[in-house]
Structure 1
């Protein structure tokens, strides 16, 4: 008789954290719904009295007529900055203090985010646990997030990306493959996971440019019914669940979630040594710190 064996999950843990800073990069299709979800998490934490959550939105884009109904904006907001508009709305509605940086993320705005996090924690012995949520559709912005993780501006990266009828959410904190050696050496837990840019290197590699006639941004794709109307809300819900787990339970058991709206299916990848090894193209022995 053949016995089935199941590989144990090694939860990703962050230790005992009482203060968090969430930077949401991109406040458009998926980003605007992520802001709504995060605002609810902030209100929930405020009601409970802990943990303390600070939020910064980064987006230099302006609300256009084509965004209305597809993104979380109203006709009266046309012409306003997306990040500032969302921050104002949820601050007034829920009594929050979300900050907005009305510029695109780049090497110049990244230090601004870093300084703000230190300012928020000036009265503390240490800075807050910093989570960056990527809701952008270009490799250049993701490369800046990748660099921010490498420079320890952020402690954890949650990246959300989607195409016409599906998408993926990837979670990780380590951008250097060699630093993952031995990450599974301690039985029962792990503190390092590959960053989204290691799991999917194409995220930070600019694609070959399409002919101008074929270029579409997310809003135009949705306007032409080429992108599912509800995909952005679905992706935001998944990002919200990852944030809820990391903030309120301070542990994760999965590091990747794939969604297919055309078949209404969703699959999450458990954090096991073989799953992470397969994702990186390394051996389980490497992750366990065993020298061959």
Structure 2
């Protein structure tokens, strides 16, 4: 039996313009994902690709408790997270990425992104994002919504799930069984998400308190592995995995195959 694989949407491999990416959440994971996307975009451009055009959504403000787990300076305390992060990235890489200092929800309008990446804290936010993505999908080829990658974590464990938005037409392959549809995290693990939801999403007052809720390196570990999956899709044009489960307490990773 042939192994299963998903081949990336063909218009993303050699686009005329930078690929629109909607990054939702600028917290512990989202801030690290933004930096990884900037490195990836710069590297893709060096290889002749158009790279990414990222819009970062977050309505939070930087506090002292964010410093340490997230790379914010003392002088940035009090600034909107999205604005501080995107401004820094634009200055460093010379990009023209955008920051939107508000929550991504049903009132966000048509985002017109090819790739959505969510790094949010609550289950409710994930289900709302799923509805927005379905509503924003359109028939225009140039900005057709194609993928949703969701990052989620607890204290020392987390997961990454890559999904297609609709079906992605697959080429014929003698080596692989091409899979055109990858399920949303809210569809495949919806019941587990609801069962795992807690009411304790209040902001931490100090870094020490924040570290009681989440280990120092769980966010960066997830960000690097998730963006590595995205990078491999662009470099190889395909993937045999659609995510993973990670536990840094016992250094265990379980891949999620296509």
Does residue 132 of structure 1 match 2:126? no
Query: By how many angstroms is 1:222 displaced?
Result: 6.2
Answer yes or no: is the 8 Å Cα contact 1:222–1:229 preserved in 2.
Answer: no
Query: By how many angstroms is 1:202 displaced?
Result: 4.2
Distance 1:100 1:23 in 2: 10
Report what 1:12 is aligned to: 6
Q: TM-score with structure 1 length normalisation?
A: 0.74
Query: By how many angstroms is 1:189 displaced?
Result: 0.7
Q: SS where residue 10 of structure 2 aligns?
A: coil
Equivalenced residue count is: 240
Report what 1:145 is aligned to: 129
Q: Against the structure 1 CA distance between its residues 62 and 148, is the aligned structure 2 distance closer, same or farther, given a 3 Å change threshold? A: same
Does residue 234 of structure 1 match 2:221? yes
Report what 1:190 is aligned to: 179
Larger RCO: Structure 1 or Structure 2 (Cα < 8 Å, ≥ 6 residues apart)? 2
Answer yes or no: is the 8 Å Cα contact 1:170–1:256 preserved in 2.
Answer: yes
Report what 1:71 is aligned to: 70
Q: TM-score with structure 2 length normalisation?
A: 0.83
Q: SS where residue 86 of structure 1 aligns?
A: helix
Report what 2:234 is aligned to: 247
Answer yes or no: is the 8 Å Cα contact 2:68–2:207 preserved in 1.
Answer: no
Answer yes or no: is the 8 Å Cα contact 2:229–2:243 preserved in 1.
Answer: no
Query: By how many angstroms is 1:246 displaced?
Result: 2.5
Q: Select the structure of larger CA radius of gyration.
A: 1
Answer yes or no: is the 8 Å Cα contact 2:105–2:132 preserved in 1.
Answer: no
Report what 1:267 is aligned to: 254
Q: SS where residue 107 of structure 2 aligns?
A: coil
- 5+ unaligned residues in a row in structure 2: which ranges? 139-144
Distance 2:66 2:208 in 1: 8
Q: Which moved more, 1:233-242 or 1:139-148?
A: 139-148
Report what 2:142 is aligned to: none
Indicate the RMSD between aligned Cα atoms, in angstroms.
Answer: 2.7
- 5+ unaligned residues in a row in structure 1: which ranges? 1-6, 118-129, 272-292
Q: SS where residue 11 of structure 1 aligns?
A: strand
Distance 1:16 1:209 in 2: 40
Report what 2:59 is aligned to: 60
Answer yes or no: is the 8 Å Cα contact 1:25–1:105 preserved in 2.
Answer: yes
Q: Against the structure 1 CA distance between its residues 222 and 250, is the aligned structure 2 distance closer, same or farther, given a 3 Å change threshold? A: farther
Q: SS where residue 42 of structure 2 aligns?
A: helix
Distance 1:209 1:41 in 2: 34
Distance 1:194 1:260 in 2: 23
Answer yes or no: is the 8 Å Cα contact 2:123–2:194 preserved in 1.
Answer: yes
Distance 2:207 2:22 in 1: 25
Q: Against the structure 1 CA distance between its residues 145 and 92, is the aligned structure 2 distance closer, same or farther, given a 3 Å change threshold? A: same
- CA deviation profile, 1:183-206 (whole Å, cap 9, x unmatched): 9x9862111111111121147759
Q: SS where residue 70 of structure 1 aligns?
A: coil
Answer yes or no: is the 8 Å Cα contact 1:29–1:219 preserved in 2.
Answer: no
Query: By how many angstroms is 1:234 displaced?
Result: 0.4
Report what 1:89 is aligned to: 88
Distance 2:224 2:93 in 1: 19
Q: SS where residue 236 of structure 1 aligns?
A: helix
Query: By how many angstroms is 1:160 displaced?
Result: 0.5
Report what 1:169 is aligned to: 160
Query: By how many angstroms is 1:207 displaced?
Result: 7.1
